Structure 1
């Protein structure tokens, strides 16, 4: 498959996803905060169960070996490298959101850390940090509703808007244009996504396991955390007028997954039905 063919195919996927998002968008409601709109919950729960099986038998054991066998400095270098690879996507979306400060910080880190292929974060302790941004957040900043809640195989929680964002972000990633050949593209995608998943699971190993054990309905609890987390990311941490989700929970306010180097995972939220 040629590069042009891949572009046309990806554009077609974007068009279909946008159409599905528009059809699945819930009516506007007067209550503030992220609304739980899960019209295909039985299907989502089935996919969720499949993902949990993969986590139990593949991801969790791999993450355990990764976090116990690999020295902390090497784990930090892996995280720095993954963030460095994603910097162009962050820069593009920051500019689309009109956030020149974040775009500038991400650009500086990309070029300075590029001296060591992103393995070392030279801006640590110098306030060079930047927020992670993606096209799903960009759409949210410009008022696009999340649409239906979705659980994607091997990816996990999402929604129509964020799924579109994942596809569009492919066009902002320089590796899309640098790497040629479908086999090489597939290998890089699998390797990169797999490494990100293992690293995230390792950093939140005990917290996720306890979250599973303490949840009466893990699916509903994770859904609430995801929706609130995405809304918080769109607001760039600014407090919402109403921090509660439609189900009345405040799970994310007390549980923040560790998704950046040197970040700390928050306390577990209280049980919710």
Structure 2
């Protein structure tokens, strides 16, 4: 799983002031952030570089499509819990149609079949649950109390939890899947993340602020209250995807051409 750009801080308490930073254990979070940054420098970044330069683009697209397809049941469940039947319908259609090729080919590409990524953390946010304290989890990266609960619940929405027998096999698949998502995300955003790190006076604070804005946009489907900005006014990574959500999108659903 990607250590960087995987969660956010708490939801805004005052829409007029924008997302509020609630980071009561910042010293501990900074230690974990430094550890994760070291993992990126020594392992993830070089691996992503080799992957993006050595693997042909069509193969990379297939890997991304497969990872997205695996996640579709979680998106469907959470869309229904949020009352978003349009998004659930699009995700269901894409899951079954792409299932003909085990998700390797996105048959709906360009046909308006796209859908927003949804998780149980977002579902809780939609129903008014605040994010709670900002957390940096070793290996997993930025998160908060609400989204940690969401991660656990999403495991129950994932069919692989029930299809794969034995804790050893499940753990192996979880690690392999998370590693694939991490490398795919890091490769696609290779230069942007490197530039952010190089240009930041306080890398930790900058990522935290970006996450506040990003997670709020995901919960509101790209339509935050007027006047809301990240704590530092940054509009960076508006098109970035969460590390464990390959090819996810926010905002309005694509136009349905059917």
TM-score by length of 1: 0.83
Residue 63, structure 1, aligned to residue 48, structure 2: yes
- Change in Cα spacing, 1:102 to 1:32, as seen in structure 2 (3 Å) is farther
- 5+ residue gaps, structure 1, are 1-24, 264-273
Deviations 1:195-239 (A, max 9, x none): 000000000000000000000000000001111100000010114
- Which has a greater percent of helix? 1
Deviations 1:102-158 (A, max 9, x none): 000000000000000000000001000000000000000000000000001101111
- Change in Cα spacing, 1:254 to 1:198, as seen in structure 2 (3 Å) is closer
Greater Rg by CA:
1
Distance between the aligned counterparts of 1:123 and 1:52, measured in 2? Answer: 37
Give 1:88's aligned residue. Answer: 73
- 5+ residue gaps, structure 2, are 1-9, 250-258
Return the offset for 1:262. 10
Distance between the aligned counterparts of 1:27 and 1:207, measured in 2? Answer: 26
Distance between the aligned counterparts of 1:29 and 1:59, measured in 2? Answer: 37
* Bigger relative CO (Cα 8 Å, ≥ 6 apart): 2
Query: Following superposition, which runs of at least 4 residues in structure 1 exceed 4 angstroms of deviation?
Result: 25-32, 258-263
Distance between the aligned counterparts of 1:34 and 1:26, measured in 2? Answer: 6
Give 1:106's aligned residue. Answer: 91
Out of 156, 176, 184, the position equivalent to 2:141 is 156
Give 1:130's aligned residue. Answer: 115
Return the offset for 1:251. 1.8
Residue 49, structure 1, aligned to residue 34, structure 2: yes
Deviations 1:64-101 (A, max 9, x none): 00000000000000000000000000000000000000
Distance between the aligned counterparts of 2:239 and 2:73, measured in 1? Answer: 25
- Change in Cα spacing, 1:30 to 1:198, as seen in structure 2 (3 Å) is closer
The answer to whether the 8 Å contact 1:66/1:202 transfers is yes
- Change in Cα spacing, 1:207 to 1:253, as seen in structure 2 (3 Å) is closer
- Change in Cα spacing, 1:111 to 1:160, as seen in structure 2 (3 Å) is same
Give 1:257's aligned residue. Answer: 240
What SS does structure 2 have at the residue aligned with 1:192? helix
What SS does structure 1 have at the residue aligned with 2:136? strand
Return the offset for 1:252. 3.5
| CA-based RMSD | 1.9
